[in-house]
Structure 1
Amino acid sequence: MKARFDFYQASPDTMKAMFATQKVIQATGLEHRLVELVKIRASQINGCAFCMHMHAADARQHGIPDHVLDTVAGWPEAPWFSDREKAALAWTERLTRLSEPADDRHDYDRLATHFNEKERTDLTYVIGVINMWNRFSVGFRREPE
């Protein structure tokens, strides 16, 4: 599959704004491991090979073990995800699959048990941002490097 065009060159101001979102994410104070797991899971759901590859590589560089990364899609059954990570991954799935009707009360209650209001807000921002990146990469067919 060949990239449709270079969206970085096509709209530098838009991409500048997109990269600014990354600085906001870094400033949230959320754990790096948690953020990377969320980015990988949303990218898996969206079929974004570019983002899956990039975030898995980044996670490995930050010491997240392969067995954890290999099982992100099966997080509910894997014993090495904390309750906090599982709550974040459930919320990621809920917000990434907005078109699928669901009662989100259980997911939200689980989230509220492990995250304060600021963290819930910041996590939701992270989920929104990775979904936005996925749409650029999938829509314009950006391939893993």
Structure 2
Amino acid sequence: MTALTTRFDIRATNPVLATTLYSVTLMLDKTRFGKRLKHLMDLKISHLNGCLFCIEKHSGEGTEDGIPAETLTLMAGDDWQASPLLTDAEKEAIGWADGLTRGMDEAETDTRLARLRLHYPEQDIGTLIMITAMMNAWNRVGRAGYSHAQPDHSAA
């Protein structure tokens, strides 16, 4: 586990905003997608954004909810795209979150959206967009709020 130091506590400085953000997250936890897909999307987004706090949180929660470590580890790179451990629908949802987080161009957005529509109705796509938006927001809160301590290699 990485040593994290709190440098800014959004809950203390802006409790109403933090609670509102958390409330939306709780709503998204109750969608038809279940915990597996949401954990995988949250973990992929957190890896892309480099939020160690969120990576550790979602890896731990995913493990607690029965997602195999091998599947969770896929989210750290791009191997998930060809993995037999994920369904085609999961791959498209994770790819959508990946593209939105990285900032797809118009052509890629259209291509990914067309592929996503093969697996999900419009309302579900809206939910996937909100899951992605909320995790990106939480990653910004996590990156601002926690310092990721680095080992001191100066003493030799």
Q: TM-score if structure 2 supplies the norm length?
A: 0.85
For residue 130 of structure 2, the aligned residue among 122, 125, 131 is: 125
**Corresponding position of 1:141:** 146
For 1:121 and 1:107, locate their aligned partners in 2 and report how far apart those are by CA, in whole Å: 14
**Corresponding position of 1:89:** 94
For 1:110 and 1:96, locate their aligned partners in 2 and report how far apart those are by CA, in whole Å: 17
**Corresponding position of 2:21:** 18
Where does the alignment leave 5 or more consecutive residues of structure 2 unmatched?
Answer: 150-156
**Corresponding position of 1:46:** 49
**Corresponding position of 1:29:** 32
Counting matched residue pairs gives 143
> What are the superposed Cα offsets for residues 34-80 of structure 1, whole Å, 9 maximum, x if unpaired?
11100000000000110111011101111000110111222112221
Structure with max Cα Rg: 2
1:142 deviation in Å? 5.2
- Identity in percent: 27
> What are the superposed Cα offsets for residues 4-62 of structure 1, whole Å, 9 maximum, x if unpaired?
22221111111111110122102321121011100000000000110111011101111
CA-based RMSD of the aligned residues comes to: 1.7
Where does the alignment leave 5 or more consecutive residues of structure 1 unmatched?
Answer: none
1:5 corresponds to 2:12: no
**Corresponding position of 1:114:** 119
For 1:138 and 1:16, locate their aligned partners in 2 and report how far apart those are by CA, in whole Å: 18
Q: TM-score if structure 1 supplies the norm length?
A: 0.91
